[in-house]
Structure 1
Amino acid sequence: MLREYQEGLLLSARSFQSGLINTTYENVLENLDSGIMLFDEEGILSFINSQMYTILDMKRHALVGCTILSMLSHVQLSRAKKRRVLNIYRETIYKGKSAYEFVDEFGRYWRVSVTYGEKMNGQYLFVIKEISDYKRIEQTAYQNDNLAMLGKLSASIAHEIRNPLTSIRGFIQLLRPHLSQLGKEEYAKIILAEIDRANDIIHEFLASSKPSVPQVGIIPVSLLLREVVLLTESEALMKGCEIHLHPFAEDLNISVDVKQMKQVVINIIRNAMEAITERDDDYTGRIEIGARREGAEVRIFISDNGEGMSICTLDRLFNPFFTTKKNGTGLGLSVSDKIIRNHGGCISVSSKLNEGTSFIISLPLIQ
């Protein structure tokens, strides 16, 4: 009797301990920052944590007992989310991949990991986590590697190329009167224009390779932007664009290298002009420029109603050598980003196709 009683107590204790462990594990899974779904061997959802409900934008317990197929017809799941679930199923279960990465409609990066097979006793475990921060770090490292490579490349070849180009330009100018007599002056103009373009590319290589220390001075943002508008508004009018400079609510001072800062703003404005001219429909291009205070920073904004950019283009926008222009070098925004970072600031950009693009330059405010 005593032995049976002791065995009964031991069994009760083990059952109680097992319940505690299961509860502990469930609490851990509920509080992870990753979304988790577990399907049993029959394909029925047996567990889903709160983070996964948040990712799917659904109410608590709405999916328990569902299969993947029934999820695709669930009334609470949006069409975009259903399409995403279908893509995840196709890339992981159907194609046999253990991991799948994607970018959502808001530009956020996600990674889905799937575990199944004998080690899961026929069950399917899906884990989804946002990896936008990791992607940004990865992209920064990639940009730094490219800039280092660019510095070595440009420093070694720039002067070697410039010297013969200067000689060629001089001889073409000497031959220009003779070409004019033959009615071929247009050839000389084309050659000189292409030599000038080659020199501009070399200049951009050198500018992007030199981590020059800014020659800073304190300047009002209003004065800087007014000067930039004066320099660019005639070119904008020729391209059918209007530049609108917003009034300034207060005096905002920044400590910058004025020449470098003008280079950045003018580069972004010219990109806006090109984006506007790329649109097919007949409309008036408009470029909005202004500045405002945000805490201890000045935010300079430059927006346009041009053709806009896709998410894929935005992801690579500041990469050296990346360009969508026919005659672009892919260095303008890369150099601009480095200049702003050398001033202790940053550039952010948002864009929608056929709607336009907005750049924001954040710089420390001088009190």
Structure 2
Amino acid sequence: MISQYQESLLLPARTFQSGPMNTTYEDVLEHIDSGILLFDEEGVLTFVNKQMYGILGLNRHSLLGCTLIHLLSNIQLNRFKKKQVLRGYREMMKKGKPSYEFVDEYGRYWTVSLHCGEEMKGCYLFTFKEISDYKLIEQTAYQNDSLAMLGKLSASIAHEIRNPLTSIRGFIQLLHPHLHQLGKEEYAKIILAEIDRANDIIHEFLTSSKPSVPQVAMIPVSALLKEVVLLTESEALMKGCEINFYPLQEDMIISGDIKQMKQVVLNMIRNAMEAITEKIDDSIGRIELGASREGAEVRIFISDNGKGMDICTLDRLFSPFFTTKENGTGLGLSVSDRIIKNHGGCISVSSRINEGTRFVISLPLIQ
């Protein structure tokens, strides 16, 4: 059932005459950091502050006196915002929820709260507040908790699984001549390969929970990237990809652990290869690799024209155990993120579905 107020929200716009509102209170509402929409008991919009106009992307004073249906018919309101307004209306007005969270087209998090009842004298007050910083803190706390749990889990896994795997591997090697006589030599190869894969997963757990202290040395960025290209060129060709390396315009040197830095770039290039093999069309897969100076930093970029990622995947990309791969562990990017942070840098990523992904590694340069 739709209440009388909800029906009034959907009525056509009508002429609105501003009432005698306290100027001091109005000034306060104009300058708070939240967006405000105030509807009276008849569903007419009586007050909108400047932050709310900015959130909606509409001209100032173009909404007073309108109802919800008139707001949705505003040609200046884009399709994405109309969709969010309707979804918020359904969640709070029809389902009776006091608040509603959403992500806007720029990836920012917002919460909408509804205040009504006797204290509002029949009016309905909607407040919009950006909570992106809170979400970041929440995600960081969750990640730290996951890493703490991972540290305890990985130590147990290393002791309880590695030893029997080593024994099994030894016995399979002893049985290899007998399997060869029986014509079942491929069974031994499969078993050994699976044991090695299990050991690799255990190694990833240990690395992610307790990454080694960087062995600091001076690393020429150009030499680092050239070596990574040499290591991955043949694998890329086998997967139908080509790697385009853009030679650096100048010599740039960073300080860090060469093995860890190589691990990060290799991981991202291999991720790019997998994204290209999973894309829908048959276009040639391309991976671009290069670097440029930005002030006192170097920006190393790895981009591909693979299947891309949606915003939900991007939000959880560096979380431990999160993976979209069938046989993935969800630890590669979380380990890479920690390595770069330990080197005083950061990783940023942008992506679009069916268009590709671009990673940028920012690291301080040695002057």
Partners of 1:212 and 1:252 in 2: how far apart?
25
Q: Give the drift of 1:180.
A: 2.5
The corresponding residue for 1:131 is 131
| Paired residues for 1:245-264 under 5 Å | 245-264=245-264
The corresponding residue for 1:364 is 364
Partners of 2:364 and 2:233 in 1: how far apart?
27
SS in 2 for 1:92: helix
Partners of 2:20 and 2:298 in 1: how far apart?
54
TM-superposition CA deviations, 1:266-299 (whole Å, max 9, x none): 0000000000000131111101111111122111
Partners of 2:58 and 2:74 in 1: how far apart?
10
Partners of 1:346 and 1:20 in 2: how far apart?
53
Partners of 1:20 and 1:96 in 2: how far apart?
31
The corresponding residue for 2:242 is 242
| Paired residues for 1:57-76 under 5 Å | 57-76=57-76
The corresponding residue for 1:121 is 121
TM-superposition CA deviations, 1:157-180 (whole Å, max 9, x none): 212211110110111111122222
Q: Is the 8 A contact 2:84 2:102 kept in 1?
A: no
| Paired residues for 1:132-281 under 5 Å | 132-281=132-281
Tell me which moved more, 175-184 or 356-365: 175-184
Please list every run of 5 or more consecutive structure 1 residues that lacks an aligned counterpart in the other structure: 1-18
TM-superposition CA deviations, 1:211-230 (whole Å, max 9, x none): 42211111111111111111
Partners of 1:225 and 1:46 in 2: how far apart?
60
RMSD: 1.4
What is the total number of aligned residue pairs between the two structures?
Answer: 349
Partners of 1:149 and 1:351 in 2: how far apart?
30
Q: Give the drift of 1:261.
A: 0.3
SS in 2 for 1:202: helix
TM-superposition CA deviations, 1:39-74 (whole Å, max 9, x none): 001110000001111111110111111111221112
TM-superposition CA deviations, 1:98-121 (whole Å, max 9, x none): 111111222111111111111211
The amino acid across from 2:265 in the alignment is: V
Normalising by the residue count of structure 2, what TM-score does the alignment of the two structures yield?
0.93
Partners of 1:110 and 1:89 in 2: how far apart?
15
Q: Give the drift of 1:96.
A: 0.7
| Paired residues for 1:2-41 under 5 Å | 22-41=22-41
Partners of 2:324 and 2:340 in 1: how far apart?
22
Normalising by the residue count of structure 1, what TM-score does the alignment of the two structures yield?
0.93
Structure (1 or 2) with the larger CA radius of gyration: 1
Partners of 1:138 and 1:72 in 2: how far apart?
33
SS in 2 for 1:351: strand
The amino acid across from 2:275 in the alignment is: A
Q: Give the drift of 1:21.
A: 8.7
SS in 2 for 1:319: coil
Partners of 2:211 and 2:238 in 1: how far apart?
35
Partners of 1:251 and 1:22 in 2: how far apart?
64
Q: Is the 8 A contact 2:157 2:202 kept in 1?
A: no
Q: Is the 8 A contact 2:297 2:363 kept in 1?
A: yes
The amino acid across from 1:134 in the alignment is: Y
Tell me which moved more, 352-361 or 64-73: 64-73
The amino acid across from 1:255 in the alignment is: S
TM-superposition CA deviations, 1:110-149 (whole Å, max 9, x none): 1111111112111111111111111111111111111111
The amino acid across from 1:287 in the alignment is: I
Moved over 6 A (4+): none
SS in 1 for 2:366: coil
TM-superposition CA deviations, 1:7-45 (whole Å, max 9, x none): xxxxxxxxxxxx999211111111122111100011100
Partners of 1:263 and 1:32 in 2: how far apart?
47
The corresponding residue for 2:46 is 46
Percent identical residues: 77
Tell me which moved more, 182-191 or 117-126: 182-191
